[in-house]
Chains A and B, each alone.
Chain A
Amino acid sequence: MHWWLPPKGSTFAGPIDGLFIAILIITGIAFVVVESGLIWFIVRYRGRPGRKAFYTHGNTRAEVIWTAIPAVTMVALGIISNHYWVEIKGRNSVPPDAYPIAIHAKQFEWQVTYPGPDGQLGTADDFTVRNQLHVPVGRPIVVHLSSEDVIHSFYVPQFRVRQDIVPGMDIRAWFQPTVAGTYELGCSQLCGLGHYRMRAQVFVHTQEEFAAWMKQAAQEATQ
């Protein structure tokens, strides 16, 4: 059990964790200011007999200051966030050379369709594997998400990627794994009584391993 974000597993993890830390610092300052201020007031101005409170209706300058500071901070945060948002989820964010994989979600499993040796989806050499997502490291991957029945959500915490899968919609999401290893893919949208066990293994292979796996899996699929 560690008390922090999961290990970084994709190119998104850097900016997202950075933004998380930036917000943690901003909110941390606000938190300390407010809570310590409160505690100080509680101790300093606690009621004593014979004391009368200071009669005032406010102070315009102070109010302008504490309106302006959050406003400026929030706008700045919005601009920075939007920059990364467009890179991650924007309409044209998917790299053109991204490796395509189709994922069909249904209660309660993931059907992962690979493009086969030709690297193209929708051709005869495509094959489907249940609950296993194999991807090569260091290459952008685009997943074409579709759903059989209800809304599911594609979520790999280490990749910091999440995308709802809505029946009737074709949704694409992309990511680029950076560290080879085994991860877990989970459904993060309540999809029925088996929601909790709608889980798949994610294998991030080196390029060579991936090529070898692809060859073997394609062969097994044709048999």
Chain B
Amino acid sequence: MTTVAATAHGAHAHHDDRPFIRKYIFSTDHKIIGIQFLFVSLFFLLVGGLLAMQMRWQLGFPGKPMPGGGILPETMAPGGVILPEYYIQLVTMHGTFMVFFAIMPLLVGVYANFLIPLKIGTHDMAFPRINMWSFWSFFAAGLVMLASLFVPDGAARAGWTMYVPLSARHDLSGASLGQELWSVSIILVGLSSILGSLNYISTIINNRAPGMTWFRLPLSVWSLFITAILGLLALPVLSGAAIMLLFDQVLNTHFFDPAAGGQALLWQHLFWFFGHPEVYILILPAMGMVSDIIANGSRKPIFGYHSMVFAIVAIGFLGWIVWGHHMFVSGMNPTLGSSFMVSTLIIAVPSAVKVFNWMGTMWRGNLKFTVPMLNATAFVAMFVIGGLSGIYMAATPVDMFIHDTYFIVAHIHYVLFGGSLFALFGAIVYWYPKMFGRMMSERWGKVHFWLTFIFYNCTFFPMHITGMAGEMRRLYDPNQYTFLQPYQPMREFISISAFLLFATQLIFFVNFWWSLFKGKKAEQNPWHDNGLEWSLPAPAPHGNWEKVPNVYRGPYEFSHPQAREDYLPQYVKLPTDREPASAPAAAH
């Protein structure tokens, strides 16, 4: 009890004298946990990228020995030539690492942890210790997944969607321990996400600073809140499915075994019931952070704050009733296909509202193209392409043709790379000073941005074309098909672009590490932003505030007519402002 009272009164803001291990390793401080997530998931981002590079080598230069591939064992790539069984491991693990261990923890693990208490004005999460366990179960899951790359039979090889019976039967997939480790790891990831979501939801509901009403929350917090609800309700379904898959693998149960009455489509329903909310888990936080950055970079209030909030809520709600659009050609009842098509098309509406409101925010602004703003603008431009290409798949007859082709690969990468990753590059640079007290290099940030923007489009746009030609996904060598042979030069072009794209990311990594030690010291509020986090010194201290500030207005009061500067922070009291009703009495 005393700890709660102490937290509530800001005791932790005093000098922090905990031992190193409690401070930086088994820390319960939301900012340290966020930073831990950042380092670990950036590492997994790199791993996922390396796997993708090997795939691109095989697709661009099939059957040729891969440079440096000689270090791989005979079972993967004898003489550096990638084997089909290794290729499908690459496909599977690239998807798995990017979705579960890079994008999701980068968006949610890092920024929900780091931003929520700072932006709503509280000392820490509602349950700091549970928060710590959320990180460590993620870490354990990552280790298990990483280890599965090195087991004798190789890693899981049924695609990141793990369709049964291929994933459940070792005699059909050719992998055993790797498949089982995949299931175990996903169960742990689910646990981590549930523990995290539990914290984010409780914290946002209960621990907002005085005056921080629901409609004064920054859109980043709103989107993280809806994301947490999606994670809380979707991940247990995935965990349940992964547990059944694991039992099928190790206990010979028959959930997904058609020979004994199990159902193969059941897995797909369970997986996509989780999987579609998951797609929004992977984009909503990006949308929220981009909203913050665009308002800041435009020096203008966000256009249509309320409809932005309702759009987030609508996307979060509709996300639950669209999962069947992944299964139009799966053999599911076609009438269900019709209803899933309608709900899927409807979800385009809130997405369109968001895009137009971002543009409305930039309209008549005073745009400052800092590195975060560049990335956020690219997010809007690229998300539009990813969103629009989704409409092709939502229309069931067209989906019948482009389903499981490179068209869908292009789509997912326009949303997850063009969308989520650009937003993340922006967010990392934007909140870097509050995390580490230093700025990342502006010049190298811009170099990285422009090169990424170019090579990214060169990599993923041509995939629309090969997809339209009917090139199937997950093919080790598309040249097996005569109608795909003419596209080999295009595949080669994609591969070379992909290598350059990967090389460009090294600039970002170097910039990130170099700035940690040598970056320019950050001011308290380098972007002249309005959020509560900028009332703190950089880096933000343990416990955040001695006494949390009162909140007087919404987060997007830029270029306010009554303010001298072109920004008016939420915590600054104008003479006309009244103290929030929930604020503690003056005696405190």
In the complex, A touching B, CB below 8 Å?
Answer: yes
Question: A residues engaging B (CB < 8 A)?
Answer: 1-6, 12, 15-16, 19-20, 23, 26-27, 30-31, 34-35, 37-38, 41-42, 45-48, 51-59, 62-63, 66-67, 70-71, 74-75, 77-78, 81-82, 84-86, 88-91, 107, 149-151, 153, 155, 157, 160-169, 171, 183-184, 186-197, 199
* A77, B345: Cα distance in complex, Å: 8
Chain A contacts for B166, CB-based, 8 A: 150-151, 190-192
Indicate if the CB atoms of B345 and A82 lie closer than 8 Å: no
Indicate if the CB atoms of B480 and A197 lie closer than 8 Å: yes
Indicate if the CB atoms of A107 and B300 lie closer than 8 Å: no
Chain B contacts for A62, CB-based, 8 A: 356, 360
Indicate if the CB atoms of A169 and B334 lie closer than 8 Å: no
| B580 touches A (CB below 8 Å) | no
| B583 touches A (CB below 8 Å) | no
Question: Which residue of A59, A162, A199 is within 8 Å of B400 (Cβ)?
Answer: A162
A-B contact pairs, 16 of them (CB 8 A): A23-B398, A45-B364, A47-B299, A47-B369, A52-B559, A58-B307, A71-B349, A75-B346, A81-B396, A162-B401, A162-B403, A162-B404, A167-B165, A169-B264, A184-B481, A195-B475
* A169, B338: Cα distance in complex, Å: 21
Chain B contacts for A184, CB-based, 8 A: 481-483
- Additional pairs, 8, CB under 8 Å, beyond known A63-B304, A84-B397, A193-B174: A1-B486, A1-B487, A70-B348, A74-B349, A81-B341, A164-B329, A168-B258, A169-B264
Chain A contacts for B486, CB-based, 8 A: 1-2
Indicate if the CB atoms of A55 and B362 lie closer than 8 Å: no
Tell me, rounded to whole Å, the shortest Cβ–Cβ distance linking A188 to chain B: 4
Indicate if the CB atoms of A45 and B334 lie closer than 8 Å: no
Tell me, rounded to whole Å, the shortest Cβ–Cβ distance linking B22 to chain A: 45
Mark interface residues in B362-395 (1 if CB within 8 Å of A CB, else 0). 1111111100000001001100110011011001
| B405 touches A (CB below 8 Å) | yes
Chain B contacts for A66, CB-based, 8 A: 352-353, 356
Size bracket of the B interface: 35 or more
Which of B28-36, B84-92, B228-236 lies on the face that meets chain A? B84-92
Chain A contacts for B348, CB-based, 8 A: 70, 74
Which of B5-13, B185-193, B276-284, B466-474 lies on the face that meets chain A? B466-474
Question: B residues engaging A (CB < 8 A)?
Answer: 84-85, 88, 91, 157-159, 163-166, 169, 172-174, 258-259, 262-265, 298-301, 303-307, 329-331, 333-335, 337-338, 341-342, 345-346, 348-349, 352-353, 355-357, 359-360, 362-369, 377, 380-381, 384-385, 388-389, 391-392, 395-398, 400-401, 403-405, 465, 468-470, 472-478, 480-483, 486-487, 489-490, 558-561, 566
Q: Which 10 pairs between the two chains have the least Cβ-Cβ distance?
A: A168-B258, A157-B470, A58-B304, A54-B364, A27-B388, A196-B476, A74-B345, A70-B352, A1-B486, A81-B395
Tell me, rounded to whole Å, the shortest Cβ–Cβ distance linking B159 to chain A: 5
Chain A's closest residue to B479 (CB) is: A196
Chain B contacts for A166, CB-based, 8 A: 258, 264-265, 330-331
Chain B's closest residue to A171 (CB) is: B331
User: Known: A67-B349, A193-B84, A193-B85. Contact between A38 and B359, CB under 8 A?
Assistant: yes
* A62, B304: Cα distance in complex, Å: 10
Indicate if the CB atoms of A47 and B366 lie closer than 8 Å: yes
Chain A's closest residue to B84 (CB) is: A193
* A70, B384: Cα distance in complex, Å: 13
Tell me, rounded to whole Å, the shortest Cβ–Cβ distance linking A48 to chain B: 7
* A155, B482: Cα distance in complex, Å: 15
* A26, B55: Cα distance in complex, Å: 34
Chain B contacts for A54, CB-based, 8 A: 300, 363-365, 559
